[in-house]
Amino acid sequence: MEILCKANSRIEKQIVDALKEFKKVWKEGSGERLFEEMCFCLLTPQSSAKQAMKAIDLLKKNNLLEKGRAEQKESFVKNVRFYITKAKRLEEAQKKFPKEKIKQILKKNGLPNEPIKCRNFLLKEVNGYGMKEASHFLRNIGFFEEVAILDRHILKNLVKCGIIEKVPGNLGVKNYLKIEEKMKDFCKKQGIDFAELDLIFWSNETGSVMK
């Protein structure tokens, strides 16, 4: 368990650097950067972060991340699963969260002091966001102290560490919150930074740190 929950010195530095970069997105980042992260987290479900980032880069290169119809976006997001549905969700997000207003909208709905309140808002207002995606977005813009990204690789490692008995078949909101609390309690008992644990798990499996 100790090996599973501990990063080597090289990875530890990468994790610390990554968390610093996440913080900068909210403190220094523009509306464009916040919206980019929102879109990135719309593209990640059932696709890798690497493929989602590739799609984001293509949309930006073709000036279609913050504008354009879903049909125009489709050819640039074909590398992610369910790209037609996701292209529609990207168009919907750009209408509801325009880059010049997104930060103010998030401020009105909890940030920076109430990230859990903001997660509930995102869950209701961003078509395509479940608890995992809303938490992922908040983590990527610097609000990682209270939220966990419970994807399958994290859940699998939580089982290995004895935090949960098995990977749940259904991860509804109540179950998500319950596991999140168990993860926080584990971190307190083991003296592990809660914000770092999912990145440790991820790096142990892949050898690198990704957002």
The answer to whether 115 and 147 have CB atoms below 8 angstroms apart is: yes
Quick check: is 193 catalytic? no
Residue for token digits 């609000």?
Answer: 143
The answer to whether 60 and 73 have CB atoms below 8 angstroms apart is: no
The answer to whether 150 and 110 have CB atoms below 8 angstroms apart is: no
Alpha helices by DSSP H, listed for 141-190, are 152-160, 173-190
Which amino acid would we find at residue 97? F
Among the options 132, 178, 189, 198, which is catalytic?
A: 132
The answer to whether 143 and 137 have CB atoms below 8 angstroms apart is: no
Burial 10-40 (b: 16+ CB within 10 A, else e): ebbebbeebbeebeebbeebebebbbbbbbb
The tokens describing 145, both together, are: 């102290």
Q: Please give the Cα distance from 113 to 102 (Å, whole number).
A: 16
Quick check: is 54 catalytic? no
Among the options 73, 99, 151, 198, which is catalytic?
A: 151
Q: Which residues are catalytic?
A: 132, 151
